[in-house]
Amino acid sequence: MMIEADPATMFKSVAAYLSWDHDRLDALLDTVRNRVYNSEWATARRDHDEFARGLKRHIRLEEDILFPMLEGVAPKGHTYAMRDEHTRIRGVLGTLNDDVRRGDAVRFRSTLAVLLSILRGHNAKEEEVLYFADQGLPEAERVALLLRLRSE
């Protein structure tokens, strides 16, 4: 199930926008999982490609836009730890891609468990950082950040 929204008009905070994107990615990943478990490999590959593009975009938004703005506002080390997790996420995402391409449901399940474990901890850290985006940045900077995230 795809979560539809008009990001240009719907979001009033950085946290709301990125939470929406998390929900969208979670829904895509659920679709991929269902396709794999039903041996619908062609559509699993297509949906995985969409999920991977979306997750890579989300990571790029954080690393290129969000983190540089927050590194003076958020507690020291938060964004650095999240960058390290992004490296791990990219690696696991590559393995997940290989599993789907090979049609290997057993390895997919195992790789998916690793990815979900990393994402759980990462998303908790991200919520803390987003608090500083919405509460710690001056209004003009927060609005500019939100507009840039939505336009990328």
State pTM to two decimals.
0.87
For residue 82, the Cα-to-chain-centroid distance in whole angstroms is 12
- Domains of the chain in start order, with CATH, are 12-151 (1.20.120)
Backbone angles phi, psi at 44, to 5 degrees: -65, -40
For residues 107-143, b (16+ Cβ closer than 10 Å) or e, as one string?
ebeebbeebeebbeebeeebeebbebbeeebeeeebe
Measure the CA–CA gap between 137 and 49, rounded to whole angstroms: 35
Angle, CA of 101, 54 and 88, to the nearest 5°: 70
Average pLDDT over residues 124-133: 80
So what's the pLDDT on residue 10?
Answer: 62
Supply the DSSP string of 5-18, one letter for each residue.
--HHHH-SSHHHHH
Give the distance between the most distant pair of CA atoms in the chain: 50
> Does the pLDDT at position 68 exceed 90?
no
So what's the pLDDT on residue 79?
Answer: 85
> Does the pLDDT at position 7 exceed 80?
no
> Does the pLDDT at position 53 exceed 90?
yes
Average pLDDT, the chain: 88
pLDDT in tens, 37-51: 999 999 999 999 999
The answer to whether the beta carbons of residues 11 and 20 sit under 8 Å apart is: yes
74 token code pair: 């958020």
pLDDT in tens, 77-118: 778 889 999 999 999 999 999 999 999 999 999 999 999 999
> Does the pLDDT at position 76 exceed 50?
yes
